[in-house]
Amino acid sequence: MYRNVASDTLVEQQDAILNFNRTLEENATLVNLNEAALVTLLNRLEETSFYHGDLYWFSLARINELAIIVAGNYAESCEFSLVGDLLLNPRLILIHVRGRQQPIVKERHTALTEQFRHTATTRGGVMQWLKNHTIVETGTEALLPYLLGRLRHSGLFCESYLAVIESREKRVADLSAYLACQHFDNRTTFTKWLQNANPEEQNFMKSKLCRFDFRLFNMLGDNIKRTANDATYESIFLKKH
């Protein structure tokens, strides 16, 4: 009797993805999650899955769901720098300096004029040196745009789901911008203000809050189990064939 090696390999792949998703569910609490933890999960998925089928893409979408939940919690906690890291601030920027073979990695939370302050005696001089001698390359996007780009470029997900992702990311950005403009420094200050605000102010602010839950994360997990048990299952998250 001959073994079907390809079939056995796909079964092993499916089991690995299912095990990975159990790990996702074990870590799906705000206490366990931050940018570093999310990147670790993303790297683990890439190590686990050599075949990018539906189960892989559902798993990637679940990591994205966790990232959105974390970003929403950061926004409501007035952690504006952490929101920026997930939503805007590239994880890797390379500075190519003329005459230098290897690029320099930009310090993520340091302005270029500060990192290269040794190149001139004034800030204006540093800016001119940077303009004349360097080229800036984005090596790795911020996590949320990176994940959304991956999901969109897969060509598998329906536009309605991608639009839901975009609308929640915009909500995070809008809330962060609004709270920053109101000069709330931390969650305690914001919560105290909200408790003492008049009903009209409270309703207005509550309409801006994110309050994201794990519903879509759990639905994607259910879709993974259904797809694993039934190859003909048609997910509501995917385009119709």
**Residue 177 sits in the same domain as residue 218:** yes
**Residue 74 sits in the same domain as residue 162:** yes
Quickly tell me which residue has 């999310």 as its tokens: 38
Please give the pLDDT value at position 203: 93
pTM of the prediction? 0.90
For residue 9, pLDDT over 70 is answered with: no
Q: Is residue 167 part of a domain?
A: yes
**Residue 115 sits in the same domain as residue 206:** no
Domains held by the chain: number: 2
Lowest mean pLDDT among 49-53, 111-115, 222-226: 49-53
**Residue 44 sits in the same domain as residue 128:** no
Lowest mean pLDDT among 31-40, 43-52, 54-63: 43-52
Contact (Cβ atoms closer than 8 angstroms) between residue 14 and residue 50: no
pLDDT in tens, 85-130: 999 999 999 999 999 999 999 999 999 999 999 999 999 999 999 9
Please give the pLDDT value at position 52: 87
DSSP assignment letter at 103: P
Q: Work out the pLDDT band at 241, boundaries 50, 70, 90.
A: low
Q: Is residue 241 part of a domain?
A: no
**Residue 71 sits in the same domain as residue 134:** no
**Residue 159 sits in the same domain as residue 216:** yes
**Domain, as residue range, for 132:** 92-140
Output 52 or 56, whichever has higher pLDDT: 56
**Residue 132 sits in the same domain as residue 152:** no
**Across residues 145-170, what is the average pLDDT?**
97
Dihedral (CA of 232, 235, 236, 240) sign: negative
Q: How many Cβ atoms are within 10 Å of 190's Cβ, its own excluded? A: 17
Q: Is residue 237 part of a domain?
A: no
The residues near 13 (Cβ < 8 Å, ≥ 6 apart) are 49, 50, 51
Task: Report the number of secondary-structure helices (H) and strands (E) in the chain.
Answer: 11, 3
Run of H or E including 105: strand 104-105
**Residue 80 sits in the same domain as residue 178:** yes
Domain-terminating residue out of 105, 124, 140: 140
Which amino acid, 36? A
Q: HSE-up of 65 (CA within 13 Å, CB side)?
A: 24
> Closest Cα partner for 62 from 15, 26, 12?
26
DSSP assignment letter at 156: -
For residue 2, pLDDT over 90 is answered with: no
**Residue 151 sits in the same domain as residue 60:** yes
For residue 198, pLDDT over 60 is answered with: yes
